[in-house]
Structure 1
């Protein structure tokens, strides 16, 4: 469960929750009828008599359906002593009802992607499942049930409180997160936006169960909710199911209280300083701005983009290009009540924070007196509108995003904000900069800090009824086809091609929402010997290729992509460069032309090289005290002990820092000149495109482009003689500890026992909250916010690995480690039960089906298939083998490959502080 960020969720245990007045909806109860309110751009709104707001957003092209229930309660609604209550309640609602006692397990069995998140103005719960009337009925029944019948029990609070506290501790590890909390707390004297959604530690630990029950009963009612259904479904059937499950919930008699605290205008600059262990300095500032519904917010969003975007943003130009900061950012909050405009800069350890602070504040606070050019404002608008347009091709994303727009007061703000963005002018941007980015309206924060009272007046929240009087919206986005993501259908619909130089390609044309298309190109080069000493240059090469060509600077390239409503990204490692494009059908040929420039005419600018190198160094220096990075690096180094001169060698963080200090732009240029070409690789295009036109452009991009250096695949090697080990790493001042364990074994994806290992891992820890690790360590014992196991495998090399990870309070590490070992020993001794096996099969197979509904994921699968010289028939066969597995086969595979005594176990955290706190607590008298 998350605050502003999405994370997974749990649930379990049963009992009855009628003690505080929750009533089970019954068929005999009078159902609240639905009234159609309006229809805008493909979104139809209904209202039930009990007050429930319903939005239907059909998309027949996606074989999934998403149900998103937003409860309009967040940290803004919490009272004294209740900080974190909305977020804690989000966790508790996953603990079940009398009808659905095991919610995560029920969702997992249907292959659902699900989550719950909490933010300042709302809490939301969503699940995306394979599209079917049965799954839609299940999701609606579940959400209606837990809306009013959840177990909010003392025993669940005991275990879940420690999980939420662990999440609180995880946030304490991030200086950026902590600094943001301190700034908000200083910026707001009275309004609850000054209190972090995760809450105060003592409130989390001490909240009485009766208070939590009362909070739940007050806010979790149909007249305080918005239900969104998106994806593939029949609208008439959907509304019948909504009326069946939600209509039987009576409208509450209580009158929902409204928040009424208004933050007075700030009358002088404020500052906070944070001193904690870390390796990267931060300078940040926040300025009060209007609520999300106010017309100024569109101009403020554009202003944030003009300030913080790379590479032409004003802060980027002033701080990153001058090498005084490694990264900058800027954002404007769109909240129910007046929020903040934030700017931030990261500074390498040893560089001057004061100089960065002075430059940052001068750039921001003088902007109201400067002229904003048409070019920079249009660039920002194009980028913002492109992001919206790309997001609009995925109705499941919009279904969840509507939570925040609805929480601002009216979901139609999602549409109105777009209209306002299009109308923003340079004069409007300058006007909001002048009125809000003022010294007396600033709260400064520094992670290592008026002479006269002035006020920045923030307008009141507008009248939404008047705002939307006569509003009509626009035409809805073009719909795609109903695509069947089974391996058999994917193979039947695909076309194999061969491009210039021998690159293997596969084309999967299909009608997609918004005429969207996804392209993935993988170029392969070099071998184990020829790439020695070139690993760091290889890691930088893909990112450098998209930073300028002979005809386009980095900014001009980005502008062209924005004009075409497309993205082009690059990544890679030694021997591999991966390029991905997301675009619309009619724009893809133009973007392929841009890709041609990137591949064939890169300039690898020295200035951009230095910016990238410094950013990498800053990121690595931040990892020097990161428990998770240190632990997983130590495990990987021991499980895969390659020699230091091998390209597969796992360096320490310190060694990586030295590599990036020593790498030069000439190293990258030489690697490009000598190695890169179209002699080996794979291509996949998935979505709505003209095959002939795209292939013509790609052939031109790759023609006559080969390297004299031969390509040889870099294999993954299994080391059979690695002994088990246990190690502890001390990371002072880190409130959250990390457990990592791993071992490798000789297994590849085509081996007979691979399917059994997949299911065995799923039962052990791969099935998230419904797995054995999730059930015991998080659900029952409440020791960890995040725990799981992961099976990594290869299609060609007989080298696979099992990794186990968990986070926890340092004082709980011994309990977590013991629980993990006990569950692994129990699994290897007794195997899986028939019930576990059946649930794992169903959950895993439906998850695979859902994952293939993502064009990006499908393109990655198809390129992997090309490299391995296989088709989707491999997955069809794998799924058949999984379906026919017996408990005995799973146990045999686990015993064959997993040896607990060969696990390399590393934990990292502030165990010295934890020990001291434990001794102190032991001395305190019992109450």
Structure 2
């Protein structure tokens, strides 16, 4: 369950990509005359397209119910929100709300065992739970015939939970939560958020982290947690939202049937919260194993219902939220003293945190950067934003909201918007009022709110490179002994789970193919749930196309492509994109390189104008190149401090021989020495060889008809012609001997170890891989897989573990990933070995597993392809794997034909339990003694060696 609200170190690693290089002599191409561009529609017109009509009713026991009807697919999102979060926790009980989120997934009196089993059986998608400062929620999207079962489960954990919570269940989930905490702590910058909360909000109920402290979690008794439930989880303290293929007339009798008999309980008391003001500016300095200094400057500000909340959000976006923000333009683009600069407001129900986050360029004095931050903030506070900046903020926000509301549930769909508004603001449509308010905010209002709240003393938390100090939270805590004889779970009184009526097979959107006049194939599907167009231009390139002698060229090229074109410089391009509410991005897999654009369809013409500029006419301006190169070098350095980054660099060295194009995956973000030497000419050459019409294919999902889409693309890409020779990839038929062993990458002071077990299989990626993939759903894929259930639920040594195949065009590796607590590293490898060996020999797929996976996989299809983004991904996957466009329409029949012997045979032909190589990233002083008893050779590799792209020996 994803539930911990923490500072995201992953975003730092991904976005902080920087270092320095001598200036290059070449000049950027002369700026061409700007072509006529389509103008964006008014933001007020976009706001009108954001709507979620709903009906509401309340049961006698106080349960508030909201129903939104959306008939686009035969699915219903069920979202249950409880008015209890970490702000309700008293001293000594921190982490209880989040702990209960886990406990409420572990079964109830009438539905014993993990809730994931009955949800998987009915084809639920987007099922999870989260905890925040303000609330706890549970959600799942189910096929309409499975709604009765979903409502039974939600009502059972609301009204019939306590009898199922035993000491064993408590100890199990306490261990899982503690490993969730270790997993977050183990990341670079993983301790920052703790310090911000303690020093900025410590006097308020928001002053401790949602996940709580190890000591409080360990001290929690069975009586403590049961009393916590009795105090907060009654129906009168909850909101139920149903969104999808249902209306209120259908919903009310169902809700009455399942929830009506649950008695009301105590109502959560809204804690008193006063926005604190520091007596004086305060700076806290932390050391961590990071590659670059991070500066986080924060102020406590009002919560989302305050009249200043929206103007503050606008001010924060102008300061550091836009791609063309003031901080980014000054610190990153102009002064080049930072590799990343941003600002935002974390708006909670009763309080907010206004934060500026800056990653300092290595070698630059952080004190200088602090002064520059002060200067940018002071200037904006004095002179305010421009009307154009404010309008760009509004357009960007509204556009994002339109795209997000295509989903009926999940983490951010329609059900979430309604529930959040009802719980926090007593208005389900509060989200629309926020958008309307944002569209009307004036520069004067934004600067007035900012001066009011940012004129107060700020907290600065600075994380500098160094050895992280030992801290109590990382200590492994022993399981709490049982209090007296083990209790048996209570027997249910409500009868069996409701049956599920037959669920129809998916009808995948009709996929149509045509070509532009220059031969580029266009693959199109229509979806009209939201007025949005998503486009991906796929090129036959990928990491495998990176020049062997200059690894990192592709990534640097892609990073540069939206940093200015021959008609717009970097800032002007960002501003133009923001006025349209468009997202333009790039990415790559092992085999393909992608350039993408999505935008509200009313602004599609303008978005395509910009996109064509990016694809055909990137400037690769020398000044921008040096800045982006610096960001990329810092990103590489950050990658080498992250457990995942380290293992990602090692695994390809194990799998592929030096001559394989896939060996280039070991470079990660690139070889620093090589990236420093890449020239502008190298980028131009790579672009010319690979980003070209004869290697391109365009995939589009849109509410606009194919004829209109084709005409728009023809106008911009129909005359595009390839120049020079195309790039080539050569996959020789060579293999690398896999010597089973353990490779230990030393990362001192790691409270967890990252375990990766991998081997190269002989699976043909273009064959029928459904049997082997389905077999793996029992072994390694998903929450209910054997590996996860063993390491997480049975042993609670991990927050989550699993394995899967990567279906590359020329290789199919299998990889198991398991972050585990450091003191259980050796035992976890043994547990993985045992699970894999049993599965591939004497304990193959069971009938229960076959039924579960076939039922779940077929019934989940409508929810799986609910959004345009999912359809677009499915279209590209089918094309890459050479499958027919209607593959997902026919896949249910293929699932139902699977047999146990077929699955076992496929798994045993693909995998050998004795051929895994184990890569472990952890503290060698703690981990090495555990590994020596496993019976495999242990090779210790220094982390620094991973920076080089020279392949490791075997």
Equivalent residue for 1:500, pick from 510, 517, 529: 517
In the TM superposition, residue 293 of structure 1 has moved relative to its aligned partner by: 0.2
Relative to structure 1, the CA distance from residue 916 to residue 603 in structure 2 (aligned partners, 3 Å threshold; closer, same or farther) is same
Structure 1 residue 75 and structure 2 residue 86: aligned? yes
Equivalent residue for 2:784, pick from 752, 770, 773: 770
Gaps of 5+ in 1: 8-38, 450-483, 919-927
Relative to structure 1, the CA distance from residue 292 to residue 488 in structure 2 (aligned partners, 3 Å threshold; closer, same or farther) is closer
Corresponding position of 2:305: 293
In the TM superposition, residue 303 of structure 1 has moved relative to its aligned partner by: 0.8
Corresponding position of 2:681: 666
Structure 1 residue 781 and structure 2 residue 795: aligned? yes
Equivalent residue for 2:205, pick from 173, 177, 192: 192
Corresponding position of 2:41: none
Q: What's the secondary structure of 1:679's corresponding residue?
A: helix
In the TM superposition, residue 528 of structure 1 has moved relative to its aligned partner by: 7.5
Written as runs of structure 1 = structure 2, the 5 A alignment for 1:422-501 is: 422-438=439-455, 440-448=456-464, 489-490=508-509, 493-501=510-518
Relative to structure 1, the CA distance from residue 4 to residue 200 in structure 2 (aligned partners, 3 Å threshold; closer, same or farther) is closer
Q: What's the secondary structure of 2:757's corresponding residue?
A: strand
Cα deviation digits, residues 318-338 of structure 1 (max 9, x gap): 211222111112111222222
In the TM superposition, residue 750 of structure 1 has moved relative to its aligned partner by: 4.0
Corresponding position of 2:857: 844
Relative to structure 1, the CA distance from residue 755 to residue 373 in structure 2 (aligned partners, 3 Å threshold; closer, same or farther) is closer
Written as runs of structure 1 = structure 2, the 5 A alignment for 1:88-167 is: 88-102=99-113, 103-113=115-125, 114-130=127-143, 132=144, 134-150=145-161, 151-167=164-180
Cα deviation digits, residues 834-862 of structure 1 (max 9, x gap): 11111112223334443222322222332
TM-score normalized with structure 1 length:
0.86
In the TM superposition, residue 867 of structure 1 has moved relative to its aligned partner by: 4.5
In the TM superposition, residue 111 of structure 1 has moved relative to its aligned partner by: 2.5
Relative to structure 1, the CA distance from residue 257 to residue 857 in structure 2 (aligned partners, 3 Å threshold; closer, same or farther) is closer
CA contact (8 A) 1:284 1:445 kept: yes
Q: For the residues of structure 1 that align with 2:442 and 2:530, how far apart are their CA atoms?
A: 28
Equivalent residue for 1:265, pick from 274, 277, 283: 277
Q: What's the secondary structure of 2:739's corresponding residue?
A: coil
Cα deviation digits, residues 550-569 of structure 1 (max 9, x gap): 33333433333333333222
Relative to structure 1, the CA distance from residue 701 to residue 647 in structure 2 (aligned partners, 3 Å threshold; closer, same or farther) is farther
Q: For the residues of structure 2 that align with 1:170 and 1:592, how far apart are their CA atoms?
A: 41
Q: What's the secondary structure of 1:339's corresponding residue?
A: strand
In the TM superposition, residue 540 of structure 1 has moved relative to its aligned partner by: 2.5
TM-score normalized with structure 2 length:
0.83
Written as runs of structure 1 = structure 2, the 5 A alignment for 1:624-635 is: 624-635=640-651
Structure 1 residue 361 and structure 2 residue 374: aligned? yes
Q: What's the secondary structure of 2:280's corresponding residue?
A: coil
Corresponding position of 1:221: 234
Q: For the residues of structure 1 that align with 2:378 and 2:83, how far apart are their CA atoms?
A: 35
Written as runs of structure 1 = structure 2, the 5 A alignment for 1:157-556 is: 157-252=170-265, 254=266, 256-321=268-333, 322-365=335-378, 367-396=380-409, 397-410=413-426, 411-438=428-455, 440-448=456-464, 489-490=508-509, 493-510=510-527, 512-524=528-540, 531-533=547-549, 535-556=551-572
Q: For the residues of structure 2 that align with 1:751 and 1:575, how far apart are their CA atoms?
A: 18
Relative to structure 1, the CA distance from residue 575 to residue 162 in structure 2 (aligned partners, 3 Å threshold; closer, same or farther) is closer
In the TM superposition, residue 539 of structure 1 has moved relative to its aligned partner by: 1.9
Corresponding position of 1:578: 594
Corresponding position of 2:3: 3
More displaced stretch, 711-720 vs 292-301: 711-720
Q: For the residues of structure 2 that align with 1:526 and 1:415, how far apart are their CA atoms?
A: 41
Q: What's the secondary structure of 1:382's corresponding residue?
A: helix
Relative to structure 1, the CA distance from residue 154 to residue 867 in structure 2 (aligned partners, 3 Å threshold; closer, same or farther) is closer
Corresponding position of 1:698: 713
Relative to structure 1, the CA distance from residue 409 to residue 574 in structure 2 (aligned partners, 3 Å threshold; closer, same or farther) is closer
Q: What's the secondary structure of 2:133's corresponding residue?
A: coil
Relative to structure 1, the CA distance from residue 720 to residue 671 in structure 2 (aligned partners, 3 Å threshold; closer, same or farther) is closer
In the TM superposition, residue 187 of structure 1 has moved relative to its aligned partner by: 1.0
CA contact (8 A) 1:526 1:710 kept: no
Q: For the residues of structure 2 that align with 1:822 and 1:183, how far apart are their CA atoms?
A: 43
Q: For the residues of structure 2 that align with 1:350 and 1:662, how far apart are their CA atoms?
A: 19
In the TM superposition, residue 41 of structure 1 has moved relative to its aligned partner by: 4.6
CA contact (8 A) 1:69 1:228 kept: yes
Cα deviation digits, residues 32-73 of structure 1 (max 9, x gap): xxxxxxx98512232222111111122112443211111111
Relative to structure 1, the CA distance from residue 843 to residue 677 in structure 2 (aligned partners, 3 Å threshold; closer, same or farther) is same
CA contact (8 A) 1:5 1:117 kept: no
Relative to structure 1, the CA distance from residue 561 to residue 529 in structure 2 (aligned partners, 3 Å threshold; closer, same or farther) is closer
Q: What's the secondary structure of 2:586's corresponding residue?
A: strand
Cα deviation digits, residues 688-733 of structure 1 (max 9, x gap): 1132232122223332411331354665967263222212122012
Structure 1 residue 757 and structure 2 residue 772: aligned? yes
Equivalent residue for 1:681, pick from 696, 706, 718: 696
Q: For the residues of structure 2 that align with 1:365 and 1:733, how far apart are their CA atoms?
A: 40
CA contact (8 A) 2:342 2:357 kept: yes
CA contact (8 A) 1:311 1:554 kept: no
In the TM superposition, residue 743 of structure 1 has moved relative to its aligned partner by: 0.7
Relative to structure 1, the CA distance from residue 810 to residue 867 in structure 2 (aligned partners, 3 Å threshold; closer, same or farther) is closer
Q: For the residues of structure 2 that align with 1:911 and 1:406, how far apart are their CA atoms?
A: 50
In the TM superposition, residue 443 of structure 1 has moved relative to its aligned partner by: 0.9
Q: What's the secondary structure of 2:631's corresponding residue?
A: helix
CA contact (8 A) 1:811 1:914 kept: yes
CA RMSD between the two structures = 2.8
Q: For the residues of structure 2 that align with 1:681 and 1:358, how far apart are their CA atoms?
A: 47
Q: For the residues of structure 2 that align with 1:213 and 1:593, how far apart are their CA atoms?
A: 59
Q: For the residues of structure 1 that align with 2:926 and 2:83, how far apart are their CA atoms?
A: 40
The count of aligned residue pairs is 841
Corresponding position of 1:722: 738
CA contact (8 A) 1:57 1:231 kept: yes
Corresponding position of 2:468: none
CA contact (8 A) 2:636 2:670 kept: no
Q: What's the secondary structure of 2:665's corresponding residue?
A: coil
In the TM superposition, residue 629 of structure 1 has moved relative to its aligned partner by: 2.0
In the TM superposition, residue 487 of structure 1 has moved relative to its aligned partner by: 6.8
CA contact (8 A) 1:828 1:891 kept: yes
Q: What's the secondary structure of 1:737's corresponding residue?
A: strand
In the TM superposition, residue 898 of structure 1 has moved relative to its aligned partner by: 0.8
Relative to structure 1, the CA distance from residue 6 to residue 696 in structure 2 (aligned partners, 3 Å threshold; closer, same or farther) is farther
Structure 1 residue 598 and structure 2 residue 614: aligned? yes
In the TM superposition, residue 115 of structure 1 has moved relative to its aligned partner by: 0.8
Relative to structure 1, the CA distance from residue 527 to residue 277 in structure 2 (aligned partners, 3 Å threshold; closer, same or farther) is closer
CA contact (8 A) 1:6 1:117 kept: no
Cα deviation digits, residues 564-614 of structure 1 (max 9, x gap): 333222223687431222233443233223222222222222233233222
Relative to structure 1, the CA distance from residue 208 to residue 570 in structure 2 (aligned partners, 3 Å threshold; closer, same or farther) is same
Q: For the residues of structure 2 that align with 1:372 and 1:712, how far apart are their CA atoms?
A: 49
CA contact (8 A) 1:4 1:119 kept: yes
Relative to structure 1, the CA distance from residue 867 to residue 88 in structure 2 (aligned partners, 3 Å threshold; closer, same or farther) is closer
Equivalent residue for 2:807, pick from 793, 800, 803: 793
Relative to structure 1, the CA distance from residue 262 to residue 682 in structure 2 (aligned partners, 3 Å threshold; closer, same or farther) is same
In the TM superposition, residue 758 of structure 1 has moved relative to its aligned partner by: 0.9
